[in-house]
Amino acid sequence: MNWTLLTLHVRYETDFVQARQSARQLAEILGFSDREQTRIATAVSEVARNALNYAGGGKVEFLVDGAQRPPLFLVRVSDRGPGIADLSEILEGRYKSQRGLGVGLAGTKRLMDHFDIQSEPGRGTTVSLGRRFPSGAAPFTDKELARVTAELARRPPQNPAEEVQRQNQDLLAALADLRQNQEELLRVNRELEEKTVRLLKTEQSLRARNDELKAFAYTVSHDLKAPLRGIAGYAQELDRRHRAGLSERAVFCLNQIMTATRNLDHLIEDLLHYSRLDAESPSLTEVELGRVVETILRDRSHIIAERKVEIGVDLRVRAVHGWERGITQVLTNLIDNAVKYSRDAQPPSIRIHASELPEAWRITVQDNGIGFDMKYHDRIFGLFNRLVRPEQFEGTGAGLAIVKKLVEKQGGRIWAESEPGRGATFFVELPKQQPEA
């Protein structure tokens, strides 16, 4: 295992002086004798100078190879220069360079226990130098690494120039990081801007389309009502005044027409109701939940009695601060749904529960009806979305959509939990703090 003690960048002459100084310091901290320190520092000096002179700079890493016994103090000098073409000649000392490279590399090899050079023309050079720890040195551990690092940090710089060099080293490293970060930031920022512009455009067109749709829904439902009233009126007239003259088949057709007209009328009413909700602004008052629930149940006492529905009311909240009409409508629709879908249960059971949370009031309406598959959870709150056939259960499919809209208008949320055949529970949460209109 290799421990990295220090990494230096060599770009200027002063940097490589720093490199050999650090080599000496580290050697000293690691327990090498004065003579060994000089050897190691000299070897590093030779190699680091080459990196500077031939490759315009490089990196010097100081490591400890702990796998060796005794551990090896390793110095790795790498550059991205032109590489060395006639490596073997240089190492055998036959090469004589003008700047003294011949003696340098060959001599360096003699100074160290371990010497390895990797170089390919055009792909840079990496020289590894190693010196075995003095005999008797303990195996290298993390603890030892901590000691070396601390010791190195504690050493005061020998002169102001060295201090400046050290800071320069930090600066170079920080600068490289910074540049990379900045580039990344610029890229992300550009992306963000593009996305924001796209989003704004989408939002605008969505708003426009939404307004259009609302107006459309309102107009259509409104305009549909007039001809429908005509059809219903004539059908009624036929029924009341001319029934005697009609054949059996004609009476049947007339009944079908009147049923369809009624259904269509409900549908249009719901649609109108739904689209009108947008325009309505909630007015806030104290809403006594008990009274609201009681009124709704009283209006339905007939059907409740007829179907023998068991009703359980447990309100732990007396009153909430909210929009009375909205809350009443929400509860009405939820209770109507519960009554409707628990029709075939033996006996039907509906529980209405209210409780206070730290930030909100929660109202739940639970039934033991047919329930639904949770994978359709989001669909049931969509306008005119129905999971059941109209022959099974009457209705337009607008009820829950209206409920959802009303709840959201009050800043609340609604969701349901259910399983097919095991009833459904609808949760409504209304915030105590109304959002700004």
157 binds another protein (CB under 8 A): no
Write out the binding residues for another protein, residues 78-97 only, by CB under 8 A: 93
Residue 101 or 400 with smaller CB distance to another protein: 101
CB of 42 to another protein, least distance (A): 5
16 binds another protein (CB under 8 A): yes
The rounded distance, in Å, linking the Cα atoms of 10 and 343 is 85
The rounded distance, in Å, linking the Cα atoms of 318 and 110 is 94
433 binds another protein (CB under 8 A): no
CB of 176 to another protein, least distance (A): 23
CB of 142 to another protein, least distance (A): 30
User: In the set 104, 124, 369, 371, which binds another protein (CB under 8 A)?
Assistant: 104
- Joined together, the tokens standing for residue 428 give 């409504």
User: In the set 8, 10, 45, 58, which binds another protein (CB under 8 A)?
Assistant: 45
C-alpha distances (whole Å) from 315 to each of 178, 293, 323, 365 are 61, 10, 18, 11
C-alpha distances (whole Å) from 155 to each of 24, 28, 151, 163, 372 are 12, 12, 6, 11, 74
Q: Is residue 320 within 8 Å of residue 289, measured between CB atoms?
A: yes
Strand ranges, E, within 268-398: 284-288, 310-315, 319-323, 349-356, 360-367
208 binds another protein (CB under 8 A): no
C-alpha distances (whole Å) from 88 to each of 106, 119, 120 are 10, 11, 12
7 binds another protein (CB under 8 A): no
Q: Is residue 411 within 8 Å of residue 344, measured between CB atoms?
A: no
Residue 138 or 161 with smaller CB distance to another protein: 161
161 binds another protein (CB under 8 A): yes
With contacts defined by CB under 8 A, name the span among 136-144, 156-164, 222-230, 399-407 that binds another protein: 156-164
131 binds another protein (CB under 8 A): no
137 binds another protein (CB under 8 A): no
Q: Cα(first)–Cα(last) distance of the chain, in Å?
A: 65
405 binds another protein (CB under 8 A): no
With contacts defined by CB under 8 A, name the span among 44-52, 136-144, 237-245, 282-290 that binds another protein: 44-52
404 binds another protein (CB under 8 A): no
List, in order, residues 6 or more apart from 393 with CB less than 8 Å away.
340, 341, 343
Write out the binding residues for another protein, residues 20-39 only, by CB under 8 A: 20-21, 24, 34-35, 37-39
Residue 115 or 426 with smaller CB distance to another protein: 115
User: In the set 26, 46, 169, 270, which binds another protein (CB under 8 A)?
Assistant: 46
Burial of 79 (0-12, 13-18, 19+ CB in 10 A): buried
With contacts defined by CB under 8 A, name the span among 16-24, 128-136, 242-250, 360-368 that binds another protein: 16-24
168 binds another protein (CB under 8 A): no
Residue 99 or 243 with smaller CB distance to another protein: 99
Burial of 380 (0-12, 13-18, 19+ CB in 10 A): buried
CB of 25 to another protein, least distance (A): 10
Sign of CA dihedral 6, 10, 13, 15: negative
- Joined together, the tokens standing for residue 31 give 């327990």
User: C-alpha 231: how far from its chain's center?
Assistant: 55
Sign of CA dihedral 65, 69, 71, 73: negative
Scan for tokens 């409508």, then name that residue.
329
367 binds another protein (CB under 8 A): no
Write out the binding residues for another protein, residues 220-249 only, by CB under 8 A: none
CB of 175 to another protein, least distance (A): 22
145 binds another protein (CB under 8 A): no
CB of 103 to another protein, least distance (A): 5
Q: Is residue 91 within 8 Å of residue 116, measured between CB atoms?
A: no
Q: Is residue 101 within 8 Å of residue 117, measured between CB atoms?
A: no
CB of 105 to another protein, least distance (A): 9
User: In the set 41, 77, 331, 380, which binds another protein (CB under 8 A)?
Assistant: 41
With contacts defined by CB under 8 A, name the span among 3-11, 99-107, 114-122, 147-155 that binds another protein: 99-107
- What residues pair up with 285 in beta bridges, in sequence order? 322
The rounded distance, in Å, linking the Cα atoms of 191 and 255 is 63
With contacts defined by CB under 8 A, name the span among 63-71, 98-106, 289-297, 378-386 that binds another protein: 98-106
- Footprint on this chain of another protein (rule: CB under 8 A): 13-14, 16-17, 20-21, 24, 34-35, 37-39, 41-42, 45-46, 49, 93, 99-100, 103-104, 106-108, 110-111, 158-159, 161
